[in-house]
Amino acid sequence: MVIRKYYYGDYGDKEAAGNLNSTGASKNEWPLWEVFIRSKQGLDHKHVGSLHAADAKMAIENARDVYTRRQEGVSIWVVESKYIHATNPDDAEILYEPANDKIYRHPTFYDLPDAVKHM
């Protein structure tokens, strides 16, 4: 028995992927979009889910209908999934290790005033 590790968006063997085009999507399927919403209380956008849509305008409209039904969001971002690139979790130690010897980058030397709310 062979165990393979796949990451989000991986399809494994081309034969297992079935009727897919060069981008990995089905030939009769709309592209996948990742949805990020900024809440009224928040300062940053948070990933809330994914959806299929024909274009960016449709993705925003669908995201509004699906993820902000109670008017809790003030801003919506949509990004076609094929444009999101990520690091491999197995490479985290190599990727972040160089920052460990730069102690001046750690906020332990700074005292924040009480007036600074969102840091």
pLDDT at 119: 65
Statement: residue 98 has pLDDT above 80: no
pLDDT at 46: 93
Domains of the chain and any CATH numbers: 14-109 (3.10.20.520)
Do 57 and 30 form a contact (C-beta atoms < 8 A)? no
Averaged pLDDT for residues 94-114: 72
Q: What is the pLDDT of residues 55-83, one digit of tens each?
A: 999 999 999 999 988 878 899 999 999 99
Statement: residue 45 has pLDDT above 80: yes
5: left (phi over 0), alpha (psi -120 to 50) or beta: beta
Helix (H, G, I), strand (E, B) or coil at 97: helix
pLDDT band of residue 8 (cuts 50, 70, 90) is low
